[in-house]
Amino acid sequence: MSSTLINAAADQLAVIDALYRFAAGIDLRDQDLLASSLAENAVSDFRPAAAKAGFDYPVIEGRAMIVAALTASLATLDTSHSVSNPRVAIDGDTARLDALVEAQHVPCSDPARHYMMKNRYDVELQRADDVWLITRNTVDNIWCAGDPAVLSVV
């Protein structure tokens, strides 16, 4: 196998790893891991998915703000994010990732309730040295099941 193909495959895996770090950071409540997936000026746009669930969620800008907002909004929930069907397009030091992410949300105080979302993630990334970082993540919902009020549990 040529070194060009090996480098291309390594880049594709590294791009996908950014989304894995993002999802695992949320599920493990690991703010450092979550932050490691995001560029300093990252943008998180959950509005399309939120609208389909019947609530407003603002666009969040900046790594620290995204980590703080996700940590706060999911603090009372156990979550499980599964990433599948990643498709990567790389152009130099930028990349685009399209993936399906199934996100289960269960209130810590009431594990009999849940809200499952199958979302499409449209992710833009930038290479930073040897790691890829998310610069923009737009999330749209494909289908959902359960009680959307779970997302507003306090």
Sign of CA dihedral 63, 64, 69, 71: positive
C-alpha to C-alpha distance for 61 and 19, rounded to whole angstroms: 17
Mean pLDDT for all residues in the chain = 95
Domain borders along the chain are 3-151
The pLDDT tens digits of the residues spanning 76-124 come to 999 999 999 999 999 999 999 999 999 999 999 999 999 999 999 999 9
Per-residue pLDDT band at 4 (split at 50, 70, 90): confident
Token duo for residue 7: 């480098």
Residue 125 burial (10 A CB sphere; 0-12, 13-18, 19+): buried
Of 33, 100, 102, nearest to 67 by C-alpha is 33
CATH number listed for the domain at residues 3-151: 3.10.450.50
121 neighbors 98 (Cβ within 8 angstroms): yes
pTM, to two decimals = 0.94
